[in-house]
Amino acid sequence: MATDEKKLILLVDDDIMYLKMLHGAMMQQYRIAMAKNGDQALAYLQKNKPDLILLDYMMPVKSGREVFYTMHDDPELCDIPVIFLTGANDTESVMEVLKLGPAGYVLKSTSLMKITETVNKFFKDQARALLGDDGPNADFV
C-alpha cells in the first residue's frame, strides 16, 4: 500500500514509552502522528484531519474526555472517530467512557497486537458501512 493511501492515525497519550510502543506496532500499516497531551492533540487537529484518533482517557492538564468534548463542539472535528485508550478496567470506568459515544475503547493492558487488530477491524467495518455491505450474507435486490 502506498504511503499516501495509508490511513492516518493520531495517537495521544501522556506516557511517551506507550506512545512509542504503539507507534512501533502500527507504523507498517498506518501513517502515525503522535501527541503527548490533549493540547498538542487539539493543536495538531487544527491543521490535520486523521482518519482515527487513539486517545488516552486519563491524562493530566486536558483529559481525553475534555479533548473529546472539544472535538464534538467543533464542526470541523466532530466527525473524526475516536477510540479511547484506558487503563481502568472496572465496569464503572468502562461505562463512563462508553457513555461519551466513542467509536470504541481499548484497555491499555491489551497486547499491542490486539490493539492493532481492533484498529484494523474498525477500518474494515467503516469501509463495509460506506459500501453498504453487510457482509457475505447481505441480501441483494
Select the CATH number that applies to the domain covering 3-130 from these four: 3.40.50.2300, 3.40.309.10, 3.40.50.970, 3.40.470.10. Answer: 3.40.50.2300
Residues (pLDDT < 70) of the chain are 1-4, 133-141
Locate the domains of the chain by residue range: 3-130
User: Rounded distance, CA 48 to CA 62, Å?
Assistant: 19
Per-residue pLDDT at 131? 80
Residues 24, 43, 2, 55, CA torsion sign:
positive
Per-residue pLDDT at 66? 94
Per-residue pLDDT at 6? 93
User: Rounded distance, CA 92 to CA 90, Å?
Assistant: 6
Per-residue pLDDT at 2? 55
List pLDDT tens digits, range 91-122: 787 788 788 889 998 999 999 999 999 999 99
Per-residue pLDDT at 1? 52
Cell triple for residue 109? 493492558
Per-residue pLDDT at 139? 46
